[in-house]
Amino acid sequence: MSTTKYLSKIKQSAKWLSIAICVNMIASSIFYFSLLISSSNDNAADAKIYEQSLTASINQFEYLPALLASDTLFINALLYSSNNHLLTNKKLTFIAERAGADVVYIMNISGTVVASSNYLSKNSFLNNNYAFRPYFQDAIKQRKRQFYYAKGATTGIPGFFISEPIIYNDQTIGVAVVKLNMTYWEDNWRNTENTVITADNNDVIILSSIDQWRYRTIGELSEETLNRISQLQQFGNKEHKSLYTKTYTAQLYRLLNLTFWKIDNELYLSQHSSIPEINWSLYYLVKNQKFLYPTFIFFIITNVFFIFTYLIRRERKHRIASINKNQRLELIRQEELKTVMDNIHVGVTLFTETGQLVSINDHAKYLLFQGHSPHPKNVIHINDIISIEADQFDKLLLNDISSATYHEAYALNNGEKTTPIMFALSKVNAMDTELYLMTFINIKRRKAAEDELVNINNSLEDTIAMRTQELQQAQATLIQKNKAAALGNMAATIVHELSQPLSAINSSASAVSAKINNQDWNGAKESANRLNPLSKKMHNVINLLKHFSYQDNESQQKTALMATIHNALNSVSDIMHEKNIHLDDSGINQANSNDIIYVETNPLKLDLVISNIIKNAMDAAEKSDKAKITVAVETNAQKAYVHISDNGGGIDPKIMSKLFSPYFTTKEVGKGLGLGLSISYEIIQEYNGNISAKNMDGGMCFTIQLPCYIESQLPSNRPS
């Protein structure tokens, strides 16, 4: 793309972007003023509600001063000032409490309070003179009800005063006053979302939902007004500064005037409402941010919409341009493809579903027609020029071919086979119809190579047959040797498994012989009694090894684990005694337990495993000065763990992984074949268990893990 064209596109995009921003600003302005108009109408209604609420609240107390002014008790209190006014004060207190007024009091013609509802208060109005208050002066002069707001001269608490002249025989003899606390309305206004303020007839803010604004003014007051307020002590020593620093007015088509106040650097929409009954003004203020934020969001959303629309339009334009470009490129590609097809050294033909030839390239002409073009008037079918049967060709055409499948055939010349070819067939869409594309290659050289390869293969087959016969003879010899080795391993296994009970028998027999020679019969019976179980064990071992290659699920039975361990320990107790090996079996002592641990195993196989590991522990412990073997049992809800440990120094961690491999042993030559742990491991695996080993406390610890279940054997409660 040239630089000029690129700059032109940038200028056009900037132009549309500027137009979109201008339109969006106009729309946002309309949206902003619509919010102002809507809010102004709502604010006017809300201000009217606040005005009516305030007027109604004042009106409910308006009757009270007139009621006091007509009461004989209060008239007599003014006429006979020497009387005791205790009763008068109590009645005023009662009236104030029942009416909900802050203070109710009676003033004489000189402005002195002669009776008050707060006579018992520390800040009592009693005997105070308030002749300077306008509500007193105007009530005397005008002889009608007065309304006044001021900060209390005695209590300092601001309030709303309603005064009524007390007239007797057409003479004004005093004034009845009711003071109301206005904080109730201010507290309610604070709970509103927007700001409400009320100004008196001097434009001084007397009620506000924001405390800091109280006693500020609506605009700047004249010096005369400020002096009059100060003389009347209406608001104490408070300063009266203007609430707003600037005002702005917007007029919409002469139908609506909008006034904005700038207060503490924030802009507020001001809505004014008059309270004619008491000559006050109520203002309802809404922050301009309430309108700016939605307008800003509207502006952003509209911009995003315009940008999104622009991007969609540009994308659509680019897509149409891309489609047109692709169509042009497709035409070019088709022309180039035709050129390539005419010059490629692969035969290419197009034909219909019925096999009628539609198009053919130059190389296909050379392969099929020896370079001559077929006559245009002749209707040529593909099976006229390729050695393929009609039914086979129909089968190829009927298949929905999704990928190229290669076939072999011969080119035909007047019905005779000439050149061997390999072709692929596939469906294509061309010329607004479904056609079949067939590509050819000459495989004459490959055919010659294949024939030569066949001859070589025939020669190789004879060689392979001879080598196979030699290999079969060698394999028969190897099988015979493996049988001999397996027989030797089995013999070694039998010797290993029988050596333990034979050793125990030999030890027990030696013990009996020694006791006979020494005429020491202590323990002789126990040693002799061990011979019979050991001989039975050897018999069982022989039967077990005889059928060891078969599964023995039927021989599994409920086996008491503790009894099996004790039997294995008893069978080697004499050997331990001879070798001075200490046995610590406190971990399996069941004397204080009412539970029996059962496992599902072949008892003889389990005895073989435990005896073999104990024997290995004894061989290892002999290396220690203080030989010791420890046997302990642990259980949980589903498994039992038998720990057999020694203090023989352990083994090298590097060979730990080979410990359960067949024919691996750490013993001296002639003392073991390395089959015991391998057989033990297979037995425990057969019962869904496991054997593990680790170095600990200067020796080895073997752990046998088996599934178990526990039965509780509680003592009988029946008397003996």
pLDDT digits (tens, 9 = 90+) for 383-393: 777 777 655 66
Let me know if residue 435 belongs to a domain: yes
Let me know if residue 479 belongs to a domain: yes
Contacts of 380 (CB under 8 A, 6+ apart): 356, 357, 374
Provide mean pLDDT across the span 248-257: 69
Pairwise pLDDT comparison (557 vs 341), residue with the higher score: 557
As for how many domains the chain has, the answer is: 4
Same domain, 557 and 532: no
- Which two three-digit tokens encode residue 152? 């209390």
Cα separation, 697 vs 708, whole angstroms: 28
Q: Which of 489, 520, 544 is the last residue of a domain?
A: 544
Strand order in the sheet with 205-208: 205-208, 195-199, 280-287, 266-275, 256-263, 246-252
Let me know if residue 210 belongs to a domain: no
Q: Which of 523, 544, 565 is the last residue of a domain?
A: 544
SS3 176: strand
Cα separation, 517 vs 324, whole angstroms: 120
Let me know if residue 62 belongs to a domain: no
Same domain, 501 and 476: yes
Same domain, 405 and 421: yes
Same domain, 384 and 467: no
pLDDT digits (tens, 9 = 90+) for 91-112: 999 998 998 888 999 999 999 9
Let me know if residue 291 belongs to a domain: no
- Domain span at residue 634 reads 551-712
Let me know if residue 704 belongs to a domain: yes
Q: What is the CATH number of the domain that holds 391?
A: 3.30.450.20
pLDDT digits (tens, 9 = 90+) for 425-466: 777 776 567 777 777 777 777 777 777 778 888 888 778 888
Phi first, then psi, for residue 627 (nearest 5°) are -65, 135
**Amino acid identity of 148?**
Y
Q: Which of 544, 579, 611 is the last residue of a domain?
A: 544
Cα separation, 9 vs 122, whole angstroms: 86
Same domain, 585 and 483: no
Q: What is the CATH number of the domain that holds 532?
A: 1.10.287
pLDDT digits (tens, 9 = 90+) for 653-693: 888 777 777 666 666 544 554 567 878 888 898 899 999 99
Same domain, 564 and 706: yes
Same domain, 472 and 582: no
Same domain, 556 and 616: yes
pTM for the model stands at 0.41
Cα separation, 173 vs 257, whole angstroms: 50
Contacts of 505 (CB under 8 A, 6+ apart): 530, 531, 534, 535, 538
Phi first, then psi, for residue 132 (nearest 5°) are -80, -15
Let me know if residue 478 belongs to a domain: yes
Same domain, 693 and 569: yes
Strand order in the sheet with 433-442: 357-360, 347-351, 433-442, 416-430, 405-413
Same domain, 675 and 577: yes
Specify the pLDDT at position 540. Answer: 57
Nearest Cα residue to 213 out of 201, 195, 187, 200: 195
Let me know if residue 235 belongs to a domain: no
Same domain, 90 and 174: yes
Pairwise pLDDT comparison (618 vs 429), residue with the higher score: 618
Cα separation, 594 vs 714, whole angstroms: 6
Same domain, 557 and 478: no
